[in-house]
Amino acid sequence: MAVIRIRNTKHTSFVNITSQVREVVKNSGVKSGLCLVYVPHTTACVFINEGADPDVIRDIAYSLEKLIPWKDNYAHSEGNSAAHIRSSLIGNSRVIPIEDGDLMLGTWEAIFLAEFDGPRERKVIVKVIKED
C-alpha cells in the first residue's frame, strides 16, 4: 500500500496523478493484478478521463459548476455542500487492471484527483493486488 500526498493550491483543481500511481505499481513488482486508487475525503474524489487535451478537464469542471452551483439552497452549515455533492457523484475510488507490470489505461486516459474544496493537502491511497 502507498499513500500519495497532493497539496492543492486552488479551490477547485484536477491533478493528473497517473505517473505517481504508475510508480507505485512499478515498485510493487506485480505483473498481473488490480490497482485500487482510493481517496479518503468527502470533498475530493478520483476519476479517469482524457489527459491529452486539457480542454476536456476544463469542460468537465465547467459542467460540474453549472450542474451543481457553489451557492444554492443547501442545508449543510459548513457551506461546502456543492463540493460534497460533486465528489459523491464522481466517486472516491477506481480500480484499474494491471498487465505486464503496468496500468491498462487507454491511450488518452489519465487518473485525476479532483479537488472541490481546496486548497488542502489530500491523500490518495493506492493498493496493488496481485492476481493468483
**Residues near Zn ion, by CB under 5 A:** 78, 80
* Shortest separation between residue 82's beta carbon and Zn ion, angstroms: 10
16 contact partners, CB below 8 Å, separation of at least 6: 51, 110, 111, 112
Select 120 or 127, whichever has its Cβ closest to Zn ion: 120
Q: Side by side, which strands form the sheet with 44-50?
A: 13-16, 109-115, 44-50
* Shortest separation between residue 84's beta carbon and Zn ion, angstroms: 6
Select 44 or 113, whichever has its Cβ closest to Zn ion: 44
Select 82 or 113, whichever has its Cβ closest to Zn ion: 82
Longest dimension (CA), the chain: 51
